[in-house]
Structure 1
């Protein structure tokens, strides 16, 4: 890979960088949940170290990408993110993904490894269970509207007006169902090697979607597991604790990168 290939330019599609940092020590990419957008992280930015550059990613079909067709499966979603993130490898970078975003971050890390490209210095997965084959009970994307709205209410995170207003629901329902189908039909590739990058896992003790046991099971999928960080709360346990989450993420990244060279990305 030539130096010209690695010269970073701001992503034109998925990425939103609210605070560009020339000469940043680290670029952190944040991946959002099913049915969501980068706005879930809007309160996090000011809490990160001043020399970190934070990139908020959006999947197609939402926000300023409303006119871009939604990705039907995880492989296409990884394709979408991949072509932009490979331009950001001129300095250390890290991934954090919540729920569907955790799946995207995990699969993107595997894709980079398979291609022999630089890897993130750290991977953080939130409210995303360890890999397993789809089960017959993975059917939220097929639930009738009323049942799905009740389920989303139990999960937390979805604004009440989306669930209670029929017109707003009809606007958002196709995107929500598409994202849930993407997550629930994903299958791990056979013989995928354990992650070689440091991995930290986060979740809510009262999550109705992902149990603490499934979160803890990530340990067997990583060569360097930095631990499970469990909080009181539901699937969106972090909503009320942005500063605490950012502080913990910062600590985990620094633990992961301790002793690494100051430049370049993890391999």
Structure 2
């Protein structure tokens, strides 16, 4: 079941839920990576896996290259699902988009989320010089991008090694990385996160370091906790029950009573 714009995939639809949890995927990814998470959450939660254009049911649409635009697109697509308390969890690019969605809900005057979960994403509050000292991923040569992604992990080997498959995925990957690498923070007074927020990361993540993740705390009004798990950037591989349990605990802390089973 999906929304009219097919931005939310709901493997286990729950009508009149205690909570709707929106889960956002990483750059180059899709909702598929989270489908096996759903059964590990409370039965009265409606788990909504958000899908960015350029993949899955939205594969006919061009991938967004602008974070604010993608956040607005996703919000417009789930308006009919905002009739219950909501929470958001995003990994890497998904975390940045979840943050942008939270800010846009506040700026639109709509009900804000009860909780925001940030996973393996560099903080958006520190102003970075454009592209820093290294060539950004979205501007790398095809070979350079493939090598960088191989080192990062998270993509099936077939995508990186098969030229035909790579040609299909490369435009989406470049668009996603451009979205992340060209995003710039709002003015300080419009950047803060006024909702309870928790951080998640891998203990051996070399893509987003512990310090880069913890820097999110400087922009939070209600930090709840920091949780590091064995593994690198895609630490949640093979750990879905553990991660889902921690997310459930964090939301129960932020909004007691929503984590009934």
- TM-score where L is the length of structure 2: 0.92
Aligned equivalent of 2:12:
19
Aligned equivalent of 1:222:
220
Displaced runs of 4 or more, over 6 A: none
Cα displacement (A) at 1:12: 3.0
Paired residues for 1:39-50 under 5 Å: 39-50=32-43
Aligned equivalent of 1:157:
154
Residue by residue, what CA displacement relative to the aligned partner does 1:206-238 show, whole Å, maximum 9, x if unpaired? Answer: 222211001111111111001211122111100
Aligned equivalent of 2:165:
168
One of 170, 179, 182 as aligned partner of 1:182: 179
Cα displacement (A) at 1:147: 1.9
SS for the counterpart of 1:111 is helix
In 2, Cα distance between equivalents of 1:91 and 1:82: 14
Given the alignment of the two structures, is residue 240 of structure 1 paired with residue 233 of structure 2, yes or no? Answer: no
In 2, Cα distance between equivalents of 1:12 and 1:183: 23
205-214 or 48-57, which moves further after superposition?
205-214
Paired residues for 1:188-207 under 5 Å: 188-191=185-188, 192-207=190-205
53-62 or 199-208, which moves further after superposition?
199-208
Contact 2:202–2:231 under 8 Å retained in 1 = yes
- Backbone CA RMSD of aligned residues: 1.7
Aligned equivalent of 1:73:
66
Contact 2:185–2:191 under 8 Å retained in 1 = no
Cα displacement (A) at 1:153: 1.4
Contact 2:20–2:87 under 8 Å retained in 1 = yes
Task: Assess, with a 3 A threshold, how the Cα gap between structure 1 residues 197 and 11 changes in structure 2: closer, same or farther.
Answer: farther
Kindly tell me the number of residue pairs found equivalent between the two proteins.
Answer: 253
In 1, Cα distance between equivalents of 2:228 and 2:192: 22
Aligned equivalent of 2:253:
255
Task: Assess, with a 3 A threshold, how the Cα gap between structure 1 residues 225 and 11 changes in structure 2: closer, same or farther.
Answer: farther
In 2, Cα distance between equivalents of 1:203 and 1:81: 24
> Could you list the runs of 5+ residues in structure 1 that have no partner in the other structure?
1-8, 263-267
One of 78, 92, 96 as aligned partner of 2:85: 92
Cα displacement (A) at 1:11: 4.4
> Could you list the runs of 5+ residues in structure 2 that have no partner in the other structure?
none
Residue by residue, what CA displacement relative to the aligned partner does 1:94-142 show, whole Å, maximum 9, x if unpaired? Answer: 0001111101100110011112110111000111111133432260111
Paired residues for 1:79-158 under 5 Å: 79-131=72-124, 132=126, 133=128, 134-136=130-132, 137=134, 139-158=136-155
Contact 1:34–1:179 under 8 Å retained in 2 = yes
- TM-score where L is the length of structure 1: 0.90
Task: Assess, with a 3 A threshold, how the Cα gap between structure 1 residues 53 and 206 changes in structure 2: closer, same or farther.
Answer: same
